[in-house]
Amino acid sequence: MGKTAYLYGDVYLEHDTGWGHPERPERLTAIDNHLRTAPWYPDLVRVEPAYADREHIEKIHSASYIDRIHQEIAQGIPYIDSMDTTVCLNSFRVAMEAVGGCLNMCDTIMQGHADKGFCAVRPPGHHAERNYSAGFCLFNNIAICARYLQDEHGLKKVAIVDWDVHHGNGTQHSFYDDNTVLYISTHQFPHYPGTGSVMENGKDRGKGYTLNIPMRAGSSDRDYLNAFHDLIIPSLENFKPEIILVSAGFDAHRADPLAEIRLSTDAYAEFSAMLVEAAGKYADNRIIAFLEGGYNLDTLAHCVERVMDAFVNS
């Protein structure tokens, strides 16, 4: 049984989104406080935040975008690009620490100190595009890590499974013409951000390497499990990735306030177990989950625990 790594740092609480914003610091304290009660918590391999090198971010985002948000945040602007992506004076630094911590997690896994990991970071990332922010996201943590794993650790094939209730437009667009990164997304459709139709399946050499699985409002555990059994796992088996990355949003839970999917807490344990099994077959057991959405504090904490249970006990 391999080890599981965990990334968390109080620095991620310093991204202050203001009163009433759903993507708030309490999300991480709820997760961390709950995980501390788990019997396996003391045995987790701890991964620390770190300020990322720009060169890695520039593989996904333009230099002009990085400069722009740095300057605008330093000038005290209250939000970046859209009113839902609220920022404070600390937000650029915290976002850089989120990316750097996630890159540290990649190093931890690739150096063999653990084979599975969970990145409890904020701000989240999968809506961030090359040149603009969206959906609470500044830098696309998971996309940056996918390219880092290829460039710095020599991996040829990376799979990204995005089970957040919102489509990961930024991640899709980062690899839309790339046949070395398989992007798979389940998401409520139609819903924010409006992308993610079944017809969006890549272009040029990336044709067929984007798999969107739109889900209707009201979809249940059974609907999602059917998608995993019938579409997601066969796609992973065909692609044979060397690592599986997960955009782990928990806003498809039936108690979440921002969408209308009806998943249970148990569903996330089942998703995780299936992906762990796939990682065991093709990816030397390597799997990393990156926190995205999830805005009911109690259910968020319990869902993350179920993912970690599946990681630790496999």
Q: Which residues are catalytic?
A: 127
CB atoms within 10 A of CB 197: 12
The amino acid at residue 18 is G
Of 187, 214, 219, give the one whose Cα is nearest residue 199: 214
- Label residue 199 exposed, middle or buried (CB < 10 Å: 0-12, 13-18, 19+): exposed
Tokens 């603009």 correspond to 132
Work out the number of other CB atoms within 10 angstroms of the CB of residue 192.
17
- What Cα–Cα distance (Å) separates residue 134 from each residue in 92, 124, 169, 274? 15, 10, 9, 30
Q: For residue 116, what are the β-bridge partners?
A: 4, 287
Q: In terms of C-beta density within 10 A (0-12 exposed, 13-18 middle, 19 or more buried), how is residue 158 classed?
A: buried
Neighbours of 157 (CB within 10 A): 17
Please check whether residue 180 is in contact with residue 146, taking contact to mean a CB–CB distance below 8 angstroms. Answer: no
Strand-pair partners of 213: 186
Q: Which residues pair with 159 in a beta bridge?
A: 182, 244
Cα separation, 60 vs 170, whole angstroms: 9
| Local structure of residue 230 (DSSP, 8 states) | I
The string over 115-146, giving b where at least 16 C-beta atoms fall within 10 Å of a residue's C-beta and e elsewhere, is bbbbbbbbbbbbbbbeebbbbbbbbbbbbbbb
Instruction: Report the amino acid identity of residue 297.
Output: L
